[in-house]
């Protein structure tokens, strides 16, 4: 029996689903057609088919996005995607973030960028178009299959964003034809993603991921068509572009984590973070070896291998984050959507292509018999790439522990303290990479004048040593030898590349990009080290700390500080006061004033207010705190609420007012006469008189009714007075009474009886309990010199951009 | 010796060192009784005892939270966490603790909770059908679909 559902708007979903299928089909056709176009160059008809289906694919991908946007924007909760990732109250700009909260949306984003990059290639790639696009469209087809969401031979392939709520979920109410009337709002967007960085970080990151296919495709094309030497030149600017965008995307994610997440830092070696940085490392290594090959003819295999493995690792990263294999080791990976084996297949297809081509063409690859000279740039570029690759192997090995468990059925847990575990290794690699990127800049390709090299290298070394001493002293990281070594290698990079930059400005402009990027890398390293090594929790709770025997060995004294509203507390250099909160549903903002006081004069030298907020969303797992940070040039003060009173959050939920008596203490019952004075906690009440003509709203007076009001005047200690008139009512032998509140004083009055025989009037006075003082528990961390980190990241990105310009010019000059 | 062989040997040495360290750093998911024997820092997986009191009084000490948990062998143990109470722990289906045993109490340095996932839980917020939106659609035209 078919149920007719009421109010569903099925058209956008049907259109969307049509384009999902079309995008998959057109991508597959385009891939096949490009493949034959590359094999049979004389026959132009294959190329025509390939291009037409490519444009069809572009149109479908845009149409899928438009349909999905229409569904979310119009709150069509009959669609599971809109229901699971958005809500009515979501501001428009965050609708964009809810787009990629789910896996389907982020797959779409990837496809979209790939379509954009494909368009660029179509116009720019010239003779490379067919083989390169064949690879790109193969990936587009695989991605398209992730969104299909229909069963083929009994197996569901892909997960469609256009699936209906009643199809996705299995609840009794969803078979009610009127179910839409009962689902008035969606689950909403995770509070952590409601951040402006979340609007820009995923697109940048996915542009980086998507761009990695281009150098991969060039490498495949080069091997396949036996144009071994040629592909490096057009592939290089694309590799640089991928490195730049992926790097920028990773740093944005790190900034988002720092600004919006509550783990208190900018990098946590979380598997999801690792998954994105691994291909970035390998592609950076690849770029260096590609440059070395171009200039010396050495390391062809390494360059090709690294370019290809980078993209395979991108796919491995999506397997890690999307298949659910990470399980409890990561807080923010996706859960499995039933795409597990499809993702495995995605990995195997591209791994297979890579291995096949590398093995098959190994013998034909260009190679040199002569060994590299020790005093040559290509030798050290190669060493640097190897170090990066080894660093990657470490990250991959540690991150993949859950994968090994899944494969071998073991139950090994990841390291207890991941940050220490990764830092131990990566700090060492960073020192080596820093040193290499300093002195290699003074080398020349093929053969270096040894005396000149030592003169320049040692001069910079001396300057770097002086800089190191100053930095180490100012930032106070001298306690740890490893820290000093790291600062030194970063400083050496900055000084050496600063010298190259100086030469570049004086005419050797070609080296500008590389010099700037390496300077940025050095700054980033120093910033990361200092901020991570010397950040201190300033909300240390010394007064309330009760030492438990043996406990100090495991745990630092508590990092959380308890603050009562209006009571200042001294915390390090700051006097802090919790001054109240403001509610902007669904968020509650806690206002915390910071004042820096000069100890001698007692004057306030600096003051600011931080407003960390928290959102209570039971659907998303309770209270989610979002920090607020005060940025200074030399340090940041970071503040996060870790616990708060529950009732503020009820306000945040917008609960109605209560009419019961449960909010009040036990009443005091008085037998009074006119003119009596009664005390209450905050002042006194005068019984002024009786109103025999009292009226009651909504109850018309009947002939035999007795309605009497008792006139009261409340005198509060503050000097304010309030009037109240509770009413006593007899109708048809039954007595009623109607209470009156004086809300400002938390009072409620009942005129509960008239006792003629005693000549007394019975008055019940209810008082609210003394409100508990508001409190918050919070954590504050000081991050010194973190601006070096952000600044270094920006400088590095600029450096990559300059390099792209240079390498792109080389492509053009070859075409002429 | 050739340079390439020197480099190869160095890389193999680093790789071996890495495997050893990763193996040494990796841990196991264990139980309270194992934690008592080993006296070292490890993971314990289990579920919250929802019957017993979760103690957190920030007025007294903002950095003391204690509760009772059953491990995978159904052994119950008191857990002490020096920090603020994680807000959604009552809803958790599974808890992964990092820490070590101190006497009869488990002192946790990290608490990881698995809460009913957004994707597979069975809850839909249901509100009485009273909104005007559906009322507008109830009519002969709707039944034609």
Interface test with B, best of A6, A104, A381, A779 (most B CBs within 10 A): A6
Element (H, E) at B136: helix B132-137
Please state, in angstroms and rounded to a whole number, the distance separating the CA atoms of residues A53 and A36.
Answer: 14
Residues 164-223 of A with CB under 8 A from B: 169-171, 173-174, 178, 180-185, 187
Residues 386-405 of A with CB under 8 A from B: 386, 390, 393-394, 397-398, 401
Residue A209, pLDDT score: 95
- The β-bridge partners of A630 are A637
How high is the pLDDT of residue A790? 92
Among A153, A282, A147, which residue's Cα sits nearest to residue A215? A282
The Cβ-side half-sphere exposure at A329, using a 13 Å CA radius, reads: 30
pLDDT at A547: 36
Angle at A466 between CA A445 and CA A787, to 5 degrees: 85
The answer, for A383 touching chain B at a CB cutoff of 8 Å, is yes
Take residue A761 and report the two structure tokens written for it. 């009037």
DSSP string covering A75-103: T-TTBHHHHHH--TT--HHHHHHHHTTSH
What rounded mean pLDDT belongs to chain A? 85
In angstroms, the separation between the Cα of residue A628 and the nearest Cα of chain B is 18
Does the beta-carbon distance from A6 to B27 stay under 8 Å?
no
Beta strand residue intervals within A133-190, DSSP E: 150-152, 155-157
pLDDT tens by residue, A131-175:
999 999 999 999 999 998 887 777 778 888 998 888 877 777 777
- For A173, the closest of B4, B102, B126 (CB atoms) is B126
- Rounded to the nearest 5°, which phi and psi values hold at A121? -65, -40
pLDDT (average), residues A742-758: 82
Radius of gyration of chain A (CA): 35
As a whole number, mean pLDDT of residues A28-41 equals 94
Say yes or no for a CB contact (<8 Å) between A413 and B133.
no
pLDDT tops 90 at residue A288: yes
Spatial distance between the Cα atoms of A615 and A192, rounded to a whole number of angstroms? 9
Which pLDDT band holds residue A333 (cuts at 50, 70, 90)?
low
H or E segment to which residue A236 belongs: helix A232-260
Q: Is the dihedral of CA A419, B46, B52, B35 positive or negative?
A: negative
**How many other C-beta atoms can be found within 10 angstroms of the C-beta atom of residue A721?**
11
**A437-469 pLDDT, tens digit each:** 999 999 988 888 889 999 999 999 999 999 999
User: pLDDT class for B126, splitting at 50, 70, 90?
Assistant: very low
Whole-prediction pTM value?
0.81
Decide if A3 touches B, using CB distance below 8 A: no
* A653 pLDDT above the threshold of 60: no
Q: Which residues of A touch B3 (CB under 8 A)?
A: 371-372, 374, 379
Q: Do B124 and A394 touch (CB under 8 A)?
A: no
| Contact yes or no for B109 and A386 at CB 8 A | no
| Sequence-ordered list of residues with C-beta below 8 angstroms from that of A783, at least 6 positions apart, any chain | A531, A535, A635, A636, A638
Could you give the CA distance from residue A293 to residue A305 in angstroms, rounded to a whole number?
Answer: 13
Contact A181 B43 (CB under 8 A): no
In chain A, residues with a C-beta closer than 8 Å to the C-beta of B15 are 390, 393
- Whether the Cβ atoms of residue A194 and residue A86 lie closer than 8 Å to each other: no
A560 touching B, CB under 8 A? yes
What rounded mean pLDDT belongs to chain B? 71
Of all residues in chain A, the one with the smallest CA distance to B22 is A398
Q: A6 and B119: CB-CB below 8 Å? A: no
- Per the CB < 8 Å rule, is A777 touching B62? yes
Banded pLDDT at A90 (limits 50, 70, 90) = confident
For residues A138 and A672, the model is more confident at: A138
Mean pLDDT for A676-694 is 84
Q: Specify the range with the lowest mean pLDDT, choosing from A4-18, A328-342, B86-100.
A: A328-342
Q: Which helix (H) or strand (E) holds A740?
A: strand A740-742
Q: B91-100 as b/e, with b when 16 or more CB fall inside 10 Å?
A: ebeebbbbbb
The minimum CA-CA distance between B141 and chain A, rounded to whole Å, is: 10
Domain layout of chain B by residue ranges: 28-122
User: What tokens does A495 get?
Assistant: 């000084």
Using a CB-CB cut-off of 8 Å, the residues of chain A touching B87 are 621-624, 643
Q: How far apart are CA B92 and CA B115, in angstroms?
A: 4
B134:A554 CB<8 A? no
Residue B82, by phi and psi: left (phi above 0), alpha (psi -120 to 50) or beta? beta
| Of A385, A383, A393, A297, nearest in space to B7 by CA | A383
Beta bridge partners of A402: none
- Which three-class secondary structure state does DSSP give residue B54? coil
Give the pLDDT band (50/70/90) at residue B54.
Answer: confident
Q: What percentage of chain A carries pLDDT values higher than 70?
A: 91
Instruction: Return the top range by mean pLDDT from A300-309, A566-575, A767-776.
Output: A300-309
Give the torsion sign (CA, A465, A466, A469, A470).
negative
Residue of B57, B62, B104, B115 for testing the chain A interface, max A β-carbons within 10 Å:
B62
Select from A554, A613, A625, A626 the residue whose CB has the most chain B CBs within 10 Å, as the one to mutate to test that interface.
A554
> Is B2–A183 a contact, with Cβ atoms under 8 angstroms apart?
no
Q: Has residue A21 got a pLDDT over 90?
A: yes
Of A813, A810, A812, which Cα lies nearest the Cα of A510? A810
Q: Can you tell me the distance from the alpha carbon of B126 to that of A182, in angstroms, rounded to the nearest whole number?
A: 6
Mean pLDDT lowest for which of A39-48, A588-597, A710-719, A771-780?
A771-780
Decide the pairing of beta strands A747-755 and A760-767.
antiparallel
Tell me, what's the pLDDT at A816?
Answer: 46
**Best CA proximity match to A24, nearest among A51, A55, A61:** A61
User: Which of A159, A624, A643 to probe the B interface (max B CBs under 10 A)?
Assistant: A643
Distance from CA of B139 to the nearest CA of A (A): 9
What is the distance between the alpha carbons of residues B30 and B73, in angstroms, rounded to a whole number? 10
pLDDT of residue B129: 26
pLDDT band for position A724 (50/70/90)?
confident
- Does residue B67 contact residue B55 with C-beta atoms inside 8 Å? yes
Considering CB atoms only, which of B56, B124, B142 is closest to A183?
B124
pLDDT of residue A647: 56
Q: Which of A399-403, A465-469, B46-50, B109-113 has the lowest average pLDDT?
A: B109-113
Please name the CATH architecture into which domain B28-122 falls.
Beta Barrel (2.40)
pLDDT digits (tens, 9 = 90+) for A784-806: 888 999 999 999 999 999 999 99
Count CB pairs under 8 A between chains A and B.
182
Q: Which of A95-104, A389-398, B30-39 has the highest mean pLDDT?
A: A389-398
**B85, B118, B143: best to mutate for the A interface, most A CBs within 10 A:** B118
Enter the tokens of residue A74. Answer: 């119009």
Question: What DSSP designation does A656 have?
Answer: P
Residues in a beta bridge with A590: A581
Residue reference for tokens 């920030």: B58
Query: CA of B103 to nearest chain A CA: how many angstroms apart?
Result: 10
Residue with the two structure tokens 């093995």: A359
Is A353:A223 a contact under the CB 8 Å cutoff?
A: no
β-pairing, B105-114 vs B76-81, is parallel
pLDDT interval class at A815 (50, 70, 90): low
Q: Which has the closest alpha carbon to A639: A651, A649, A630? A: A630
Mutate to test the interface with A, among B10, B119, B122, B127 (most CBs of A within 10 A): B119
Confidence class for position A659, pLDDT limits 50, 70, 90: low
Q: Distance (Å) from the C-alpha of residue B116 to the closest C-alpha of chain A?
A: 8
CB contact under 8 A, A413 and B29: yes
Q: What is the value of ipTM here, to two decimals?
A: 0.71
At A284, the pLDDT band (50, 70, 90 cuts) reads very high
H-state helical runs in A732-785: none
CB spacing of A371 vs B125 below 8 angstroms: no
Distance CA A268, CA A270 (A): 5
For residues B65-90, average pLDDT: 83
Contact yes or no for A372 and B129 at CB 8 A: no
B102 to chain A: which residues are within 8 Å by CB?
548, 550-551, 554
Instruction: Work out the burial of residue A70: count CB atoms within 10 Å of its CB; fewer than 13 is exposed, 13-18 middle, 19 or more buried.
Output: middle
Answer whether B142 sits within 8 Å of A4, measured CB to CB: yes
At A616, give phi and psi (nearest 5°).
Answer: -100, 100
How many other CB atoms are found less than 10 A from the CB of residue B108?
A: 25
Asked whether the predicted pLDDT for residue A67 surpasses 80, the reply is yes
Q: What pLDDT is attached to residue B81?
A: 85
Across the interface, whether the CB atoms of B14 and A7 are under 8 A apart is answered no
User: Residue A532's closest CA among A227, A269, A225, A716?
Assistant: A269
A547 at interface of B, judged by CB pairs closer than 8 A: no
């Amino acid at each position: 029996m078919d149920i007719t559902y009421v109010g569903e708007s099925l058209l956008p979903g049907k259109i969307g689903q049509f384009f999902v299928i079309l995008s998959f089909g057109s991508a597959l056709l385009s891939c096949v057609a490009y493949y034959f176009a590359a094999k049979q160059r004389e026959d132009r008809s294959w190329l025509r088919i390939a291009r037409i289906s490519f444009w069809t694919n572009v149109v479908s991908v845009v149409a899928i996005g438009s349909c999905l946007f229409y569904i979310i924007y119009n709150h069509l909760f009959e669609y599971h995607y809109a229901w699971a990732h958005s809500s009515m109250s979501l501001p428009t700009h965050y609708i964009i973030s809810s787009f990629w909260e789910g896996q389907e949306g982020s797959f779409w984003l990837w496809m979209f960028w790939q379509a954009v990059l494909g368009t660029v290639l179509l116009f720019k790639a010239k003779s490379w178009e067919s083989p390169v696009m064949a690879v790109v469209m193969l990936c587009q087809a695989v991605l398209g299959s992730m969104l299909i969401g229909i069963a083929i031979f009994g197996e569901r392939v892909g997960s469609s964003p256009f699936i209906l709520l009643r199809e996705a979920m299995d609840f009794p109410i969803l078979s009610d034809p009127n179910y839409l009337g009962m689902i008035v709002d969606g689950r909403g967007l995770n509070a952590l993603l409601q951040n402006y960085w979340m609007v820009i970080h995923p697109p940048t990151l996915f542009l980086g991921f998507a761009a990695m296919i281009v150098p991969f495709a060039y490498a495949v094309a080069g091997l396949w068509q036996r144009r071994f030497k040629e592909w490096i030149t057009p592939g290089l600017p694309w590799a640089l572009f991928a490195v730049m965008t992926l790097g920028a995307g990773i740093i944005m994610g790190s900034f988002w984590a720092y600004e919006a997440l509550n783990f208190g830092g900018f990098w946590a070696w979380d598997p999801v973070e690792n998954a994105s940085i691994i291909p970035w490392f390998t592609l950076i290594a690849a770029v260096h070896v590609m440059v070395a090959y171009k200039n010396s003819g050495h390391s062809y295999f390494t360059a090709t291998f690294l370019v290809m493995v980078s993209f395979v690792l991108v796919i491995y990263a999506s397997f890690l984050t999307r298949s659910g294999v990470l399980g409890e080791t990561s807080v923010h990976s996706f859960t499995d959507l039933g795409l597990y084996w499809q993702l495995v297949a995605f990995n195997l297809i591209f791994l297979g292509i890579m291995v096949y081509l590398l093995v098959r063409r190994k013998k034909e690859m260009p190679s040199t018999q002569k060994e590299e000279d020790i005093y040559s740039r290509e030798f050290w570029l190669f060493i640097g790439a190897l170090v990066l690759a080894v660093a990657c192997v470490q990250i991959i090995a540690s991150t993949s522990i859950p994968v090994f468990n899944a494969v071998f059925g073991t139950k090994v847990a990841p390291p207890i303290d991941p940050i220490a575990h990764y830092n131990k290794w990566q700090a060492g690699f960073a020192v080596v990479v820093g040193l290499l990127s300093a002195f290699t800049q003074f080398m020349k390709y093929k053969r270096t004048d040894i005396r000149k090299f030592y003169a320049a290298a040692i001069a910079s070394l001396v300057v770097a040593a002086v800089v190191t001493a100053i930095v180490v002293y100012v930032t106070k990281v001298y306690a740890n030898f490893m820290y000093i070594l790291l600062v030194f290698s970063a400083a050496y990079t900055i000084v050496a590349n600063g010298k190259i930059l100086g030469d570049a400005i004086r005419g050797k402009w070609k080296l500008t990009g590389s010099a700037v990027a390496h300077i940025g890398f050095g700054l980033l390293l120093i910033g990361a080290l200092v901020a991570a090594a010397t950040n201190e929790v300033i909300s240390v709770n010394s007064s309330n700390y009760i030492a438990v025997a043996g406990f100090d060995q495991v745990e630092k004294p508590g990092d959380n500080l308890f603050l009562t509203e209006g009571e200042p507390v001294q915390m390090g250099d700051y006097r802090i006061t919790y001054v109240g909160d403001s509610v902007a549903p669904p968020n509650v903002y806690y206002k915390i004033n910071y004042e820096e006081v000069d100890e001698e004069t007692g004057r306030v030298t600096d003051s600011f207010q931080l407003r960390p907020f928290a959102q209570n969303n039971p659907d998303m797992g309770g209270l989610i705190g979002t920090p607020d940070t005060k940025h200074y040039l030399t340090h940041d003060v970071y503040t996060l609420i870790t616990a708060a009173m529950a009732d503020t959050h009820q306000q945040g939920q917008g609960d109605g007012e209560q009419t019961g008596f449960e909010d009040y203490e036990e009443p005091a019952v008085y037998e009074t006469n006119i003119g009596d004075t009664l005390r209450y906690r905050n002042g006194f009440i005068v019984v002024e008189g009786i109103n025999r003509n009292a009226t009651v709203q909504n109850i018309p007076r009947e002939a035999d009714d007795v309605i009497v009001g008792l006139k009261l005047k409340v005198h509060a200690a503050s000097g304010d007075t309030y009037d109240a008139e509770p009413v006593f009512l007899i109708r048809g032998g039954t007595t009623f009474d109607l209470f009156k509140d004086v809300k400002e004083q938390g009072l409620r009055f009942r005129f509960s009886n008239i006792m003629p025989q005693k000549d007394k009037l019975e008055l019940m006075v209810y008082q609210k309990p003394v409100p508990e003082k508001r409190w918050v528990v919070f954590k504050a961390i000081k991050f010194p010199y973190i601006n070096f980190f952000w600044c270094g990241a920006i400088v590095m990105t600029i450096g990559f951009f300059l390099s792209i310009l240079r390498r792109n010019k080389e492509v053009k000059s070859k075409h002429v | 010796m050739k340079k390439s062989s020197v480099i190869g040997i160095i890389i193999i040495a680093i790789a071996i060192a890495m495997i050893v360290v990763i193996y040494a750093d990796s841990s196991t998911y264990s139980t309270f009784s194992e934690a008592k024997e080993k006296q070292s820092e490890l993971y314990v997986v289990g579920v919250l005892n929802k019957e017993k009191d979760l103690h957190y009084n920030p007025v007294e000490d903002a950095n003391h939270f204690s509760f009772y948990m059953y491990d995978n062998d159904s052994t119950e143990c008191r857990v002490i966490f020096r920090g603020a109470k994680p807000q959604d722990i009552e809803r958790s289906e599974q808890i992964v603790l990092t820490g070590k045993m101190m006497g009869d109490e488990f002192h946790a340095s990290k608490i990881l909770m698995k809460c009913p996932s957004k994707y597979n839980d069975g809850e839909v917020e249901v509100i009485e059908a009273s909104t005007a939106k559906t009322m507008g659609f109830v009519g002969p035209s709707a039944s034609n679909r």
